[in-house]
């Protein structure tokens, strides 16, 4: 089970067997227009337009004996309005994100599980760790025909230029803290570098200070390779890399040196990979429609060595105090009492313009 559809300005894919499935894989969605999709996740990522009143971003409507309406609007100042109306069952919610400052990109995930009579709306932001969650009771199943129509050009559908992509999964997709390194990334251990995919709970990894730290968990997730989860190409020998690696835009690197101390007053800082693009060290990578990321959960949010670069391990903050978000995350099912309390990030996190200043200074 997994991703079955993707649309952006250059892509229009709808694969009933899955975007990465082989020819013998079973269909994940019915072939009939009226076949019901009882479980899934619709993801909508959008750039936030500047507007003084609500602005339509996505609209799809079908009339008939069982009418259907789906729309997303941007709220002035930040946030989205989500409306779904199917056969008289109406879901209408406004999610305001202004409490975390101005947002450039928002990702809305609508998940439904009709047999379990539960669902949720999640709103994630490109420069914030805050996730807005709304639990839904008894969301309806969706028609396969409506989902297909949503992913192709047609008179019933409107998609604003601000929409980065639409994606559809046949399962309930996780939100919140996410892994951000590809599974074959070499990670330093007491026995030498090992691929991230081979490291298990209880194994030891080596920190930049030379300490051996036990791994609490290795998490992985397959996502659409677009927008906030598109892969980036980190080039050697920048950042101390001994070889090129790939990472998600959210993967934070630990940067240190005299220029860091001079500019920011700290021996080391964290910088998201996305904020370091624009030069020669971090470039956008070519990828298929889906990519898998992995990362390690450590007791005290210790940094790790990835092919020689110092990078952040999985940061979960105080996830154990947020049962709703934990249940929606890649760590769902883990015992809350055994999860570490990471509190605030161990190092200051650079804002986008600060990281660009540092990158430009190092490139000069």
Lowest-pLDDT choice from 72-81, 155-164, 230-239: 72-81
* pLDDT score of 1: 64
pLDDT band at 80 (very low <50, low <70, confident <90, very high): very high
Beta carbons of 125 and 99 less than 8 angstroms apart: no
Highest mean pLDDT among 24-33, 95-104, 130-139, 349-358: 130-139
pLDDT band at 296 (very low <50, low <70, confident <90, very high): very high
Highest mean pLDDT among 15-24, 155-164, 355-364: 155-164
* pLDDT score of 348: 86
Whether residue 23 is predicted with pLDDT greater than 90 in this model: the reply is no
pLDDT band at 354 (very low <50, low <70, confident <90, very high): confident
Six token digits for residue 133: 């969650």
Lowest-pLDDT choice from 74-78, 135-139, 141-145, 215-219: 74-78
- Residues near 88 by beta carbon (within 8 Å), at least 6 away in sequence: none
Lowest-pLDDT choice from 93-107, 220-234, 262-276, 313-327: 93-107
Whether residue 358 is predicted with pLDDT greater than 90 in this model: the reply is no
pLDDT band at 101 (very low <50, low <70, confident <90, very high): low
Residue scoring higher pLDDT (360 or 255): 255
Mean pLDDT for the stretch of residues 204-229:
96
| String of DSSP letters for 34-88 | T-EE-EEEEEEEEEPP--SS-EEEEEEEE-SSS-EEEEEEEPTTSEEEEEEEETT
Half-sphere exposure of 197 (CA within 13 A, CB side): 7
- Residues near 271 by beta carbon (within 8 Å), at least 6 away in sequence: 252, 253, 255, 349, 350, 355, 358
Whether residue 294 is predicted with pLDDT greater than 60 in this model: the reply is yes
> pTM to 2 decimals?
0.93
* pLDDT score of 103: 64
Average pLDDT value for the chain: 92
Residue scoring higher pLDDT (80 or 355): 80
pLDDT band at 242 (very low <50, low <70, confident <90, very high): very high
* pLDDT score of 71: 97
Residue scoring higher pLDDT (342 or 354): 342
Residue scoring higher pLDDT (84 or 1): 84
* pLDDT score of 134: 96
Beta carbons of 159 and 149 less than 8 angstroms apart: no
Bridge partners of 219, per DSSP, are: 295
């Amino acid at each position: 089970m997994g991703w079955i559809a993707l649309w952006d300005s250059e892509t229009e894919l709808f694969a009933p067997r899955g975007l990465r499935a082989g020819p013998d894989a079973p269909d994940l969605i019915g072939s009939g227009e009226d076949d019901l999709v009882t479980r899934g996740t619709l993801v909508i990522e959008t750039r936030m337009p500047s507007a003084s009143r609500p602005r339509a971003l996505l609209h799809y409507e079908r009339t008939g004996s069982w009418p259907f309406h789906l729309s997303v609007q941007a709220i002035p100042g930040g946030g989205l309005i989500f409306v779904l109306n199917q056969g008289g069952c109406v879901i209408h919610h406004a999610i305001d994100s202004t409490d975390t400052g101005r947002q450039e990109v928002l990702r809305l995930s609508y998940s439904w599980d009709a047999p379990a009579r539960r669902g949720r709306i999640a709103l994630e932001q490109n420069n914030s760790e805050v996730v807005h969650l709304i639990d839904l009771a008894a969301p309806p199943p969706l028609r396969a025909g409506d989902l297909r129509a949503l992913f192709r050009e047609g008179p019933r559908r409107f998609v604003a230029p601000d929409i980065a992509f639409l994606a559809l999964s046949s399962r309930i997709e996780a939100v919140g803290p996410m892994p951000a390194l590809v599974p074959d990334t070499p990670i330093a251990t007491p026995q030498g570098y090992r691929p991230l995919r081979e490291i298990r709970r209880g194994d030891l990894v080596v920190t930049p200070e030379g300490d051996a730290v036990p791994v609490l968990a290795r998490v992985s997730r397959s996502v659409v390779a677009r927008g906030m989860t598109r892969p980036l190409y980190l080039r050697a020998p920048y950042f101390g890399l001994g070889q090129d690696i790939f990472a998600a835009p959210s993967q934070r690197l630990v940067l240190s040196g005299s220029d860091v101390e001079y500019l920011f007053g700290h021996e080391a800082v964290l910088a998201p990979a996305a904020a370091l693009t624009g030069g020669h060290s971090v470039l956008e990578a070519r990828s298929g429609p889906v990519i898998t990321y992995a990362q390690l959960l450590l007791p005290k949010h210790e940094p790790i060595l990835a092919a020689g670069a110092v990078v952040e391990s999985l940061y979960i903050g105080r996830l154990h105090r947020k049962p709703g978000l934990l249940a929606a995350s890649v760590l769902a099912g883990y015992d809350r009492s055994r999860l570490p309390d990471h509190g605030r990030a161990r190092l200051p996190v650079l804002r986008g313009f600060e990281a660009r200043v540092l990158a430009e200074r190092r490139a000069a």
